[in-house]
Every structure is written in structure tokens, then in C-alpha cells.
């Protein structure tokens, strides 16, 4: 079914009037923000009694030499039975030490955040693939990771007696602005490429099939290799003139020779990757030009996107440009952005730039009103029936119902892509059920990344949620027009 809009519906946009701040004591006394990063994750907290003091978690066990351990790798290890074992450095190191045969039975997930993001048809049943090919529902994977952070944060009470019980904590989970925003797909691809630079290079040289087999057969060596690449990526700088050496584990060299029948040096010659050489010490020698080539596609996408944004009327005249997040630590990205936009605006890289998102999340938890206006990432609306107009509506959309001609599948817009939406702003529409006496209805919510959509069947339009309502005498607006009684409804964004 589809709802029918009433004639003379009210003004679709009701301006938001800010309410006076409540003087009541908040129900929470501390805010804990959890940041799931593409490569690493962490959390921070702050007390409502001292909101300007943001405390970062600094005691992750393990860690790589020369790397601050305020964050821990986004890696999760589950037992063969699917129960939680460890997260972060502990998970990575334990999986590394497992016997190869034993490791095949475990579930080891790394950098799984972007794998979820790249799934366009995300549902409650979506599965994630572990490093060894085993699969598990994505919902369970994320639940295990979140539970770990919650327990880890609450355990701080032993070291900080002033921390309250968990029910007095406001939890904030950072969700990247790129999630489910096709209009910013370049950022999805950029983030994914940054996380997989080393793997792409290895696959190009040694073959996808070999890398997949090696990951499954030699899990410890694969972990060593990814650690080495992460370290080299951090060392990359535009001013560097000497090669970057990446040690290949002996098991990699030996496994490749047995698998392919020739050695690693031969593979390099055949790959035509001229900027990567083989060292007799068992290392890949990457010239500065080679590292630059790895970063360049990602950086180019970012520069192009920023340039397109700065040309929009609403952001013209911007004088300051902030780089934040983990990739903002890259000297190569900083130089590229400075070269491209330094003459137009001042580039600012905050201190502890990789922790900026976490600190912002804590501030948001303390005062959600700090974000006054957002821009809609998509165009949202519902599918409705309208009176059929000859010459305007296509004949294939004609529906004759009780002697009346209706046009089906019309996209009724609630908010347009890139439209500014103020905090608390309300969009109102009035509808009536398609059938008299209808007791229950399901409203499908649709979205697309353009503003010129007409029908829900247009290319690029997809269902993104549903609202289920028990009607009774209540309109589809979830408001009883006689008694003003409202009905609570939730939108399911993971429905099939």
C-alpha cells in the first residue's frame, strides 16, 4: 500500500525554537566517547563537573615501538566457539602467536569498520569475513567490540574512584560522517585505500591468490607484515630521500618459493614495479617515489573533493581549514593540502590530531546542542499516491481505485540533499491510509543522493528504512487528530 497525502497539508517545515536550558542536574555525571577508527580505536571521558578536562585512555597494553598507545588497533579475536577473547594489541599479538593449524579455527577481524561501510545492502544478517575466511554476523562482531570498550572504560573505576557506576555514564559512539552517504563515496574509497596500501602492493607483486593463501596458512607472518607496513607508512614524508625498507618474514619468502616455484626477487622483476627493489638482506626497498605513488591516488581524491566544496556558495570565503583524524597525521597529506589551498585559507593541524575526533565526541556528549546545524547527506522521502494528471504522469503509474485515478510511486520529499537542517527542526506531513478501516500500516522511507528525484522507482533511489504503526483511529502521522494522542514509532534502517 501507499499513503495518500491530504489536501491542504500543513507547512512542511516548522522552525525550531531553542528551549531554555534546563537547570536540573543531568542524569549522568561522566561522558565516555568511543571512537572506532579504520586502523585504530580508543576512548576518552570527561566529568560534567569539569567539562573542559578531557581524559584520554593512555594505558593500552602492548604497542609498536615508537608509537603512542593512546589508541589500539581495530582488531578483534574470537575463540573457535565465537566467544570474545581479546581486542586491539592483545588480539593481534595472541593471534600472531597461535599455531597456524590452530589459527584456522579462530576468528580474527582487522580494520572491519570500513568493511561494514562498503556494504550497500546492510541488514541484520550481514556477515563479516575473518582473516582466515571464516564468517560471522557483523552485528555480533561489533557487539563484541563495543562490549569490550564499555567494560574497559567501566573498569577505570578501580583506578579512578570518582568515576560513577555505568548507569550514570552517557556513552557516545562516533559514527563517521561518510557512513551511508553515497554523495561522499570518494571518502569511503579514500579511507579504504589508505588502510590497504600495503596489501594492494603485495597483491600486485605476488598475486591475490597467493596473499589470500598466505594469510590463511601463515597468520603470524601476515600480522608481522601488516605491522611493518603500518610503521613504514608513518615514516613516509615528502622530504624523505632515502628508501624505506620493509622486512619480509622468512616464512613469507619460503612459502612463496614453494607456492610459486620461483623466488621473491623473480616475482619483483615480473611485476614491473620498478620503484620497489629486492635487498639481499631479505627486505623490500621502497623508493620515496614508490611510497608517493601509493599515497597519491588517495590524496588526489581528497584534494579534488575539498576543491569542489570550497567552490560552493555557502562555503566561499572560508579562511581556515582544519585537518583532523588519523590520516591527518600524514606529512604527505599535510603538504599536499597546504600546496593546493594554502593561498586561499590557513591550514590548521590541531595538536594530537589523531585524537581530535574523540575529544569532539566527548564535547558533544556533554552538550549535544553544540552542533546547531547539519547538512543532510541524502534526499529523504516516502512513496505516496497522488491524483493522476494526464500529460504529467506516465500511464504505467496509473492506478484506478474505487473509480478514482491515482499515480503510484511518487517520491514525496522530506528533506533534500545538502539542505541545512537545524537542531530540533521538524518536517510535518499529513497522510491518510489507502484503505478505509486500515488498522496497521508500514511506511517505507526512501533516499537518494540527488535532488531531482520524482518517483521511488527512479535510478539511485533505495529503501533505507521502515516505520510500522498500529493505526486504530490514528492517522499515519502517528497523531490522533481528536485527542492529540501521539504514537511512538521507530525507524528500522536494517530491514530487508
Query: Who has greater pLDDT, 79 or 313?
Result: 79
SS3 102: helix
Q: What is the DSSP letter of 377?
A: S
Enter the pTM of the model.
Answer: 0.54
Query: Who has greater pLDDT, 426 or 173?
Result: 426
The residues that bridge with 4 in the sheet, in sequence order, are 432
Helix (H) / strand (E) containing 154: helix 138-154
The pLDDT score that the predictor gives to residue 116 is 65
Calculate mean pLDDT across residues 357-381: 82
Say what percent of the chain tops pLDDT 70.
73
Residue 455 reports pLDDT greater than 80: yes
Query: Who has greater pLDDT, 412 or 15?
Result: 412
Residue 11 reports pLDDT greater than 70: no
Label residue 158 by pLDDT band (50, 70, 90). Answer: low
Residue 456 reports pLDDT greater than 90: yes
Tens-place pLDDT, residues 263-289 = 888 888 777 777 778 877 777 887 777
Tens-place pLDDT, residues 173-193 = 776 554 554 323 323 333 344
The pLDDT score that the predictor gives to residue 20 is 39
Looking at the chain, which residues constitute the CATH 3.30.420.40 domain(s)? 30-163
For residue 374, what is its C-alpha cell? 547539519
Mean pLDDT is lowest, of 89-93, 223-227, 418-422, for: 223-227
The pLDDT score that the predictor gives to residue 167 is 55
**Backbone Cα Rg of the chain:** 27
Q: What is the DSSP letter of 486?
A: B
- CATH number for the 30-163 domain, one of 3.30.450.40, 3.20.20.80, 3.30.420.40, 2.30.22.10? 3.30.420.40
List Cβ neighbours of 429 (8 Å cut-off, separation of 6 or more): 5, 9, 12, 382, 412, 414, 477
Residue 388 reports pLDDT greater than 80: yes
How large is the greatest C-alpha to C-alpha distance in the chain, in angstroms? 85
The residues that bridge with 128 in the sheet, in sequence order, are 136
Tens-place pLDDT, residues 324-359 = 877 787 888 888 999 999 888 899 888 777 677 778
The pLDDT score that the predictor gives to residue 444 is 87
Q: Give pairs for 490-494: CB < 8 Å, separation 24+.
A: 491/445, 491/465, 491/466, 491/467, 492/465, 492/466, 492/468, 493/464, 493/465, 494/122, 494/123, 494/124
For every residue of 184-207, DSSP letters joined together read: GHHHHHHHHHHHTHHHHHHHHHH-
With beta carbons less than 8 A apart as the criterion, state whether 228 and 238 touch. no
Label residue 491 by pLDDT band (50, 70, 90). Answer: low
For residue 74, what is its C-alpha cell? 581495530
Label residue 46 by pLDDT band (50, 70, 90). Answer: confident
Separation between Cα atoms, residue 372 and residue 325, nearest integer Å: 22
With beta carbons less than 8 A apart as the criterion, state whether 240 and 248 touch. no
Tens-place pLDDT, residues 231-262 = 676 667 776 767 778 778 888 888 888 888 88
Helix 89-97 to helix 219-235 angle, to the nearest 10 degrees?
140
Mean pLDDT is lowest, of 12-26, 46-60, 117-131, for: 12-26
Calculate mean pLDDT across residues 453-462: 92
Length in residues, the chain: 496
Separation between Cα atoms, residue 77 and residue 98, nearest integer Å: 12
Q: Give pairs for 337-346: CB < 8 Å, separation 24+.
A: 337/302, 337/303, 337/306, 340/303, 340/306, 340/307, 341/306, 341/307, 341/310, 344/310, 345/310, 345/318, 345/319, 345/320, 345/321, 346/319, 346/320, 346/321
The pLDDT score that the predictor gives to residue 17 is 35
Calculate mean pLDDT across residues 112-138: 76
Residue with cell 550497500: 120
Residue 2 reports pLDDT greater than 70: no
Helix-, strand-, coil-residue percentages of the chain, each rounded to 5: 35, 25, 40
Amino acid at each position: 500500500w501507499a499513503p495518500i497525502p491530504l489536501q491542504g497539508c500543513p507547512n512542511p517545515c516548522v522552525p525550531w525554537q531553542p528551549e531554555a536550558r534546563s537547570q536540573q542536574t543531568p542524569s549522568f555525571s561522566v561522558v565516555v566517547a568511543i571512537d572506532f577508527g579504520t586502523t585504530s580505536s580508543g576512548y576518552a571521558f570527561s566529568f560534567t563537573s569539569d567539562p573542559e578536562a578531557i581524559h584520554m585512555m593512555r594505558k593500552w597494553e602492548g604497542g609498536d615501538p615508537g608509537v603512542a598507545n593512546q589508541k589500539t588497533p581495530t582488531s578483534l579475536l574470537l575463540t573457535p566457539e565465537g566467544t570474545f577473547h581479546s581486542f586491539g594489541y592483545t588480539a593481534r599479538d595472541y593471534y600472531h602467536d597461535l599455531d597456524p593449524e590452530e589459527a584456522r579455527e579462530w576468528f580474527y577481524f582487522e580494520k572491519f569498520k570500513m568493511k561494514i561501510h562498503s556494504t550497500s545492502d546492510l541488514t541484520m544478517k550481514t556477515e563479516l569475513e575473518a582473516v582466515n575466511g571464516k564468517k560471522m554476523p557483523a552485528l555480533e562482531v561489533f557487539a563484541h567490540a563495543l562490549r569490550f570498550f564499555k567494560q574497559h572504560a567501566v573498569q577505570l573505576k578501580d583506578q579512578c574512584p570518582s568515576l560513577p557506576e555505568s548507569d550514570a555514564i552517557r556513552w557516545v559512539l562516533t559514527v563517521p560522517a561518510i557512513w551511508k552517504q553515497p554523495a561522499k563515496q570518494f571518502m569511503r574509497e579514500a579511507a579504504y585505500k589508505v588502510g590497504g596500501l600495503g596489501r594492494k602492493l603485495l597483491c600486485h607483486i605476488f598475486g591475490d591468490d597467493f596473499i589470500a593463501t598466505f594469510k590463511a596458512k601463515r597468520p603470524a607472518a601476515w600480522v608481522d607484515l601488516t605491522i611493518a607496513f603500518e610503521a613504514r607508512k608513518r615514516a613516509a614524508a615528502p622530504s624523505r630521500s632515502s628508501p624505506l625498507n620493509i622486512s619480509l618474514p622468512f616464512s613469507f619468502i619460503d612459502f612463496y618459493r614453494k607456492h610459486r616455484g620461483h623466488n621473491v626477487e623473480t616475482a619483483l622483476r615480473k611485476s614491473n614495479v620498478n620503484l620497489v627493489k629486492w635487498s639481499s638482506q631479505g627486505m623490500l626497498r621502497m623508493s620515496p617515489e614508490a611510497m608517493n605513488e601509493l599515497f597519491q591516488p588517495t590524496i588526489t581524491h581528497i584534494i579534488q573533493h575539498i576543491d569542489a566544496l570550497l567552490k560552493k556558495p555557502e562555503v566561499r570565503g572560508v579562511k581556515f581549514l582544519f585537518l583532523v583524524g588519523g590520516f591527518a597525521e600524514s606529512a604527505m597529506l599535510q603538504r599536499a593540502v597546504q600546496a593546493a589551498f594554502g593561498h586561499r585559507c590557513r591550514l590548521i593541524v590541531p595538536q594530537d590530531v589523531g585524537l581530535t575526533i574523540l575529544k569532539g565526541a566527548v564535547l558533544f556528549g556533554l552538550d549535544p546542542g553544540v552542533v546547531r546545524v547539519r547538512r543532510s547527506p541524502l534526499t529523504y522521502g516516502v512513496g505516496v499516491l497522488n491524483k493522476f494528471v494526464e500529460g504529467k504522469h506516465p500511464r504505467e503509474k496509473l492506478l484506478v481505485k474505487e473509480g478514482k485515478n491515482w499515480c503510484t510511486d511518487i517520491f514525496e520529499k522530506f528533506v533534500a540533499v545538502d539542505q541545512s537542517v537545524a537542531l530540533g527542526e521538524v518536517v510535518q506531513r499529513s497522510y491518510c491510509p489507502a484503505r478505509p478501516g486500515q488498522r496497521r500500516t508500514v511506511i517505507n522511507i526512501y533516499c537518494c543522493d540527488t535532488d531531482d528525484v520524482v518517483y521511488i522507482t527512479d535510478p539511485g533511489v533505495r529503501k533505507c528504512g521502515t516505520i510500522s504503526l498500529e493505526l486504530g483511529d490514528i492517522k499515519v502521522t502517528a497523531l490522533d487528530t481528536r485527542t492529540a494522542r501521539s504514537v511512538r514509532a521507530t525507524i528500522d534502517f536494517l530491514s530487508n
